[in-house]
Every structure is written in C-alpha cells, then in structure tokens.
Amino acid sequence: MKKLQAASLIAGLLASAAIFAADAPKTPLPMNAGQGFSKEGLKRIDAFFADEIANNRMPGAVLAVAKNGKLSIYKSYGYLDKANNKPMTNDAIFNLASMTKVMASVSALTIYEEGKMPLNAPISNWLPQFKDMKVGQVDAEGKLNLVPAKNPITIQDLMRHTSGLTYGGRGATPVHKLYPAGSAPAAMQYNAQEFVDKLAATPLLFEPGTVWDYGFGLDVLGIIQEKIVGQPLGTVMQERIWKKVGMPDTTFDLAEKNRPRLAQPLPIDPISGKPQKVDIHTKKVKFDCGGSCAYSTAGDYIRFGQMLLNGGSLDGKRVLGPQTVAFMASNHLNKDILNNVAITEPARVGYGFGLGVAVRMERGLSANNGNVGDFSWNGAYGTVFWADPKEQMVVVMMGVAPGDIRKIHREQLNSVIYGALEK
C-alpha cells in the first residue's frame, strides 16, 4: 500500500512538473544566466535601471543580452505604464523607431541576393519620379537655388544614407524646411505614392553619394522592395525575416489585442519638464515605413540580432548568406564621402556606416566602449541595439524615452554592460 502511495505521489509530482514546464514562458534563446559577466557587474546593471526608474528618468525597460549564442541577461525593469502602475514584463511591445531600418536593410539584402536589386542601380529604375533630381543650394543672401544633380540616387545611397534625402526635423536650412520631420510623421501624413511624389519633388540636401546625412533612405528602399516583390513591406519582412527567425510579435500593424502590452513613456520629459507622448502609439500610419514604424519585443529583436551575429542564420534557418552579412557590416563610406555619422550622435566618433548599421572603425575615439567591427543602431523612442562580434555579444534594450535622455541612457547602458564583462 505504501509503495502504491509513494508511486502515486511521484507520478503526481512528475505530472505537476510537466504542467509547470509546459506553462513556463519560453525564452527567446537558450538561457545561461550571467555567463560572461561578473556578479558585481550584474548588480551594477540592475542598480543602473533601479536608480533611473526611482529618479523618474525612465519608466521601465526590458534588457536582453546574448553571449556566445545564449541569453546571459533577460530582465524587465520598472513600469510598462507608470501612470497606471502597470509593471514592465519581458513580453512588452515597443515601437522600434529607427531600429526598423536594420530590418528593412536585411529584407532588401535578401532581394539583392536574388540579383533583383543591384546596389549601384539608380532608384529611378523602380521610381521614375527620382530620375532628374535637383540639389538645393543656398547663396550668400539666403536664397535657395536648384541645380541638377550630377549623380543618380542608387540603392546603396539609400542604405548608407548618402542619398541627399534628409529629415526635415534634423536641420533649419531652407532645404530642411521643405521635408517632413521624420519617417513616422511622414507615414502618418502620406500614403506611399504621395510620399514618393513629395520627396521626388523636393530638392536634395546634398549631391548623391558625397555626404552621409540621416534621412528617408530606408523608407524609399521599403517602397522599392514592395514594387519588386509585389507585396507590402510588412509581408516581405514576415516571409523573409520574421517567420524564419521566429519573431511572432514583430509587425507594422499592432493588433488591438496586443495594445495592453505596449509600453508607454513617462507623461513628463525628465529633461525638458514638458509633456511627452509617442504619436505613433495612437495614430495610424498610411504605409509600412521602413525607416521607423515597426513594433517588436526585446525577445524578438535579440533573435534578429543573434541571426546577424551568426552570419545570417538562426536555428538552422538562413536569412542571409554570411558574406552578405559581412558586407552589410562593413564601412561603405569611401574617402570621397563626408562622414557625418558622429554629428547625428556624438558617441559615433570613430564609426563609419554600412548597409543600415553604424560600424566601428577605430576604438578609443568614441565615448562608447566596444571593439572594431561592432555594429549598431538605435531608435528615437529609446530602443538600443548593438552586436559585438569580438565579444560574441548582442545587446537589446527596449525602452520608451522619446526625449533627449535616451541619448544619455545609451551611453550609460554601454558603460555598465562592458564594465560587467569578465574578460
């Protein structure tokens, strides 16, 4: 009888364990908690987030760090919605802002690998409106003069930000004033056709292929992808990236059922003291803008970053060839191109630019720690991504900080992550 009772108890425990295991949340990558990091360093990382949240400098965040292909850190901090006292969760959803650009570059490179999008091809091959562009030049009296562009805008120009298509919100020149402020504002105002027509009718800030200047390149590239494939950009990315990598929560069209998981900013900007919001949280976009408009989770994006660090594949499914990834993460700014990457972000001194990502060329010039060959980009609403091949590390921080404090957080995060490494 006792043997039967013991057997029954063991069976019950095993059943319970099985149920628990089935119900346990799946981590986006295999877990090896803390690997590669010191205990003291991990405490400093936690303390950084705790201090920023306690001092009302960020509402909350999700941090995912992979080392050698396994998750060392996967944590949520603070609040999903501080105004409503909702705690942050690992599956929280964030608008990626410009971290969308990295994915739009990867999907474009899948088309490039098919021979359908040569990098030197003029974009007027698909968008004839851009065939005869003008460059805006301001004379000594402040008058705007238009001169014919000498070079066509190429696919490579779009991907490395040398097209001359600028963001209106990034300057005060007469040319800047003619452009929409940024990707998301443009996508909320125009449909794809209206957007293309608007840009094609607006003078370029610089001669194509001569100056790095942050702007609408990836939005135009997304529309070209749609024309080549014959599908919306979100569908292109779903079939070529998200489904293969395993990114179920990444989308341009956030489902209503998932909106309760959407992380919210602090009501008041901690630096300016002014009210702040993220307009795209409440306003519909009229096209899938490759420059800014996608949503994702830390778990989804760490898988995407790991795929790139692996040379284009994850879990046996290939997105890009390893040579294409290496090409993407190489500097594409030649000696004849003015490198303004550090003007966009001071910590980018010593960086060049590849295809959709900033690439570190020299160590020690930047205010950010890292190694030659690391590649990265961030989002204007507070998201951060970088991959460091030498350290075999991918870092993703999802946050909602649309004000300037996001730039401080990037540098702080960089310092506590590299400071915590054991080697």
Tell how far CA 283 is from the center of its chain: 20
pLDDT at site 188: 97
CB atoms within 10 A of CB 84: 8
pLDDT along the chain (423 residues), means of 10: 39 32 67 97 98 97 98 98 97 98 98 98 98 94 93 98 97 95 97 98 98 98 98 98 98 97 96 94 96 98 98 98 98 97 90 98 94 97 98 98 94 98 90
Which residues 6+ apart lie within 8 Å of 127 measured at CB?
196, 200, 220, 223, 224, 227
Q: What whole-number distance in Å separates Cα of residue 335 and Cα of residue 327?
A: 18
Q: What whole-number distance in Å separates Cα of residue 265 and Cα of residue 4?
A: 57
The answer to whether 96 and 384 have CB atoms below 8 angstroms apart is no
For 396, the token pair is 């993703």
Positions of CATH 3.40.710.10 in the chain: 39-99+232-420
Q: What whole-number distance in Å separates Cα of residue 149 and Cα of residue 179?
A: 18
Which residues 6+ apart lie within 8 Å of 372 measured at CB?
360, 361, 362, 363, 390
Classify 214 in phi/psi space as left (phi over 0), alpha (psi -120 to 50) or beta. Answer: beta
Q: State whether the Cα torsion 328-389-234-202 is positive or negative.
A: negative
Q: What whole-number distance in Å separates Cα of residue 123 and Cα of residue 213?
A: 18
Q: Which fold has domain 39-99+232-420?
A: Beta-lactamase (3.40.710)
Give the 3-state secondary structure of residue 191: coil
Give the 3-state secondary structure of residue 268: strand
The answer to whether 368 and 351 have CB atoms below 8 angstroms apart is no
Can you count the helices (H) and strands (E) in the chain? 13, 14
Q: Which of 336, 276, 218, 217 is nearest to 56 (CA)?
A: 276
Which residues 6+ apart lie within 8 Å of 268 measured at CB?
274, 275, 276
Q: What whole-number distance in Å separates Cα of residue 420 and Cα of residue 410?
A: 16
The answer to whether 353 and 341 have CB atoms below 8 angstroms apart is yes
Classify 316 in phi/psi space as left (phi over 0), alpha (psi -120 to 50) or beta. Answer: left
Crossing angle between the packed helical segments 39-54 and 405-420, to the nearest 10 degrees: 160
Q: What whole-number distance in Å separates Cα of residue 94 and Cα of residue 22?
A: 27
For 142, the token pair is 């402040």
The model carries a pTM of 0.93
Which residues 6+ apart lie within 8 Å of 261 measured at CB?
80, 89, 91, 92, 93
